[in-house]
Structure formats: C-alpha cells, structure tokens
Homo-oligomer: A and B are copies of this chain.
Amino acid sequence: MVKTIERPLDLLNNSKGKEVLVQLKGNKQFVGTLVAFDIHINLVLDNTKEMQNGEMKKSLGLTFLRGDTIIYVSPASTALQKE
C-alpha cells in the first residue's frame, strides 16, 4: 500500500494529499491533509483540525506547522482507525 521508503522523508512524500495525524510537544494534536513539507519537517496541512482527547478543539483550514515542535507524523489511514 506504500511506495518504497528508503529515507524517513519518503513517508512524508508518500503521504502528500492524504490525511495525517501530527503530534506536537505539549500535547497538541492536529489532523489534516498533508500539502507540503521540507527538510526541517515544516508542514502545510489543509482542512486542519486541532484535536484534544480525540475531539476537535478548533478548525484551522490551511496551516503552516513549524517542524521544531513536531514529535511524530502518521498517515491517518492507519493511525486514526485504531484509536
């Protein structure tokens, strides 16, 4: 279901256009469609939702997330179903 992942950024590349779950430091979670990323793991998500305890706290639309505060990024297709 995924293209070959040689380097970590390949997973981000494979996830473009798909929904991802992004966990930040300080217990913030975002769900949105991955639009773009760079080597600093700065991300742009679309239809971004800030989540807390599995519920939507705020809808943010297009959002630039600084890589510095990110703990993990997981394609939502696998991450969200099993929660």
Contact = CB atoms under 8 A, between A and B. Distances in A.
Contacts of A70: 66
A77 B69 CA distance: 24
Contacts of A7: 36, 38
Interface residues of A, number: 47
A67 B68 CA distance: 10
Interface string A62-73: 111111111111
Contact of A44 (B8, B67, B69): B8
Given A7-B38, A11-B36, A38-B7, A63 B59 contact: no
Contacts of A43: 8
A69 B53 CA distance: 21
